[in-house]
């Protein structure tokens, strides 16, 4: 009788191992690999977001420098215009140089503003991508409970 119980228990243990433990171990290995892949992808997305944010900061500094240069050129032109109110000054090369410097400063500032807007879009895109990846990862973690319950049925 004891021997029969032992044989039955060994058979039950074998059945549990084959029907329950092995699938649970396989699920665990699969989920562990997926978890590592998703974590690596999230780290990569975070690095991309940080790089985009750093580029955005640099663009903001460039825009501030360009705006300062433009304001300086406008002041210079206003100062020169107030000191010489004749039509002859319009014909002088110095006036043309001042106009060229002002136009160049305006072009640089426009380019800086456009780059800043582009960088802002990139940061928003990277942040949205990272958020989506985090949501996907969270969904994967939440699905573990359901998968485990199905295996145990």
**Boundaries of domain holding 56:** 2-152
Q: Please say if the pLDDT value at position 105 is more than 90.
A: yes
Q: pTM to 2 decimals?
A: 0.68
pLDDT digits (tens, 9 = 90+) for 44-102: 999 999 999 999 999 999 999 999 999 999 888 777 766 655 555 555 666 667 788 88
Q: What is the CATH number of the domain that holds 24?
A: 1.10.287
pLDDT digits (tens, 9 = 90+) for 62-76: 999 999 999 999 888
Position 93 scores a pLDDT of 65
Q: Please say if the pLDDT value at position 33 is more than 90.
A: yes
Give the total number of structural domains in the chain.
1
The DSSP code sequence of the chain is -HHHHHHHHHHHHHHHIIIIIHHHHHHHHHHHHHHHHHHHHHHHHHHHHHHHHHHHHHHHHHHHHHHHHHHHHHHHHHHHHHH--STHHHHSHHHHHHHHHHHHHHHHHHHHHHHHHHHHHHHHHHHHHHHHHHHHHHHHHHHHHHHHHHHH-
């Amino acid at each position: 009788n004891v021997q029969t119980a032992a044989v039955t228990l060994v058979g039950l243990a074998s059945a549990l191992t084959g029907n329950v433990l092995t699938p649970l171990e396989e699920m665990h290995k699969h989920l562990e690999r997926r978890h590592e892949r998703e974590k690596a992808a999230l780290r990569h997305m975070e690095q991309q977001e940080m790089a985009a944010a750093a580029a955005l900061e640099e663009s903001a500094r460039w825009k501030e420098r360009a705006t300062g240069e433009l304001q300086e050129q406008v002041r210079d032109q206003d100062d020169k215009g107030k000191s010489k109110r004749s039509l002859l000054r319009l014909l002088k090369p110095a006036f043309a140089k001042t106009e060229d410097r002002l136009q160049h400063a305006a072009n640089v500032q426009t380019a800086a503003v456009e780059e800043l807007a582009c960088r802002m879009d990139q940061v928003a895109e990277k942040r949205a991508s990272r958020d989506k990846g985090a949501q996907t990862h969270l969904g994967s973690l939440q699905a573990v409970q359901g998968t485990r319950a199905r295996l145990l049925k």
